[in-house]
Amino acid sequence: MRLIVHNMLTCNIKGVVNKFPLRIEAEKVIKKEVDFNPDFLRHMLAKIEWKALVDGARSMGYTELPDQLESEESYSFLKKFHHALLELHLEEGSLVCQETGRKFPVEKGVPNMLLHEDEV
Amino acid sequence: MKLKQLEGLLGDLQQFSNPKVDLEQYPTGPHIASRMLFTAENSYGDITDKVVADFGCGCGTLSAAAALLDAACVIGFDIDPQSLETATLNAEELEVEIDFVQCDITKLELKGRVVDTVVMNPPFGTRKKGADMEFLSAAMKVASRAVYSLHKTSTREHIKRAALRDFNAKTAEVICELRYDLPKLYKFHKRKEVDIAVDLWRFEPKQK
C-alpha cells in the first residue's frame, strides 16, 4: 500500500466520526522507484491531505517532508513529494482507526478493510 | 501502445482458478478489456497520467490495462483474497505497479477526489439483486472525471434513469455495444458458451 492510497482510506465502521486519517503501524516497508512525473505531482498537490501524508510518511520512516506545503514547488520539494506519495510501500503492518483503535491489517501490501458483522 | 499489443498482453494474464459463483466472478476477456481502456484513453483522455480505480477488480485485467496505458496510479478493489493474490501475481508478471485494497465496495468510503477515473466490470446482479446498481452508485461517488462500466444491454433504460436521477451523473452515454462471450465456468451452465449483449457506458459525474 502506498501513501497515495492511504490518503483516501477511511474507517467505515458504523457511527465513527473521526474516520480519517488512519494511523499507520509499519512492520515492513519497502521502496520501489517509479518514474518522476512533475505535472502529475503538481496536479496532486491540490488534492492530497498534506498532514495525513506527512504523518503517514513518518510512520514509514521517511521524515524529509516539510510540515507545511511549500508555496514554491521546487524540484527538490517535488522529488520528496514523489518519493513519499509513490515510492514507499507498506508491505506488512496495520491501519488504525483513531477513534476506535480498530486495526485493519496490511498483508503483502494489501490492506484488508472488510468489516465484522457488528461494525456494519 | 497499439490495441493489438495491449490485447495480447492482457490475454496472457492468469484468471480465476476457482471462481465463486455468488460473487459473479467472470474474467473480463482481453478483447473487451483492451477496447474499453483504449477508448477511454484515445477518445476521452481518461487513463494516461490519471489516478484510476478498478472496482471489483477480480484478477486485475482492467487494472493491468490501465497500467499498460500509463495511468499515473492504478488501484484495484475487491472483496475476494484469492482474486487479489492472482491480481498481484499478474501485476508482477507484467512489471506494472498496481495497488490493491480488499474491501466490500458497497461499504467503502473514500475521502477526497483523488481518483480521476473508475473502470469496472461489475456483477450484473444475477446472484445478489441490485449489485450492479450498488457498484455504479459507489463508483459515481468516487470518480472526479468519469466512470466506465459494463452492464447488460437489457438494463439500458433502467441504468440511464438511475444514473442521471439518483447517482449524480451529468452525462450517461452508451459508448458501444459489445458481445460478452462467457465460457462454461460453473456447473449450472448448460450451454458450452453464451453470448451476452453488454453496453459499455461512460458516466460523467456532476462537479462538486
Q: Where are the domains of chain B?
A: 3-205
Condensed to tens digits (0 to 9), the pLDDT of residues A28-62 reads 999 999 999 999 999 999 999 999 999 999 999 99
Q: A50 vs chain B: nearest CA distance in angstroms?
A: 12
Model pLDDT, residue B185:
65
Mean pLDDT, to the nearest integer, of B32-44?
97
Contact B37, B47 (CB under 8 A): yes
CATH number belonging to domain B3-205:
3.40.50.150
d(CA A80, CA A76): 6
With a pLDDT cut of 90, the percent of chain B lying above it is 82
Model pLDDT, residue B150:
97
Q: Which residues of chain B does A120 touch, with a Cβ-Cβ cutoff of 8 Å?
A: 107
Condensed to tens digits (0 to 9), the pLDDT of residues B71-113 reads 999 999 999 999 999 999 999 999 999 999 999 999 999 998 8
ipTM: 0.97
Closest by Cα among B147, B177, B176 to B162: B147
Long-range contacts of B164-172 (CB under 8 A, 24+ apart): B166/B137, B167/B136, B167/B137, B167/B140, B167/B203, B168/B140, B168/B141, B168/B205, B168/B206, B169/B140, B169/B203, B169/B204, B169/B205, B169/B206, B170/B204, B170/B205, B170/B206, B170/B207, B171/B202, B171/B203, B171/B204, B172/B201, B172/B202, B172/B203
**Average model confidence (pLDDT) for chain B?**
93
pLDDT above 70 (res A19):
yes
The model carries a pTM of: 0.95
Model pLDDT, residue B208:
72
pLDDT above 90 (res B175):
yes
10-29 in A: which are within 8 Å (CB) of B? 10, 12, 19-20
Q: B11 vs chain A: nearest CA distance in angstroms?
A: 25
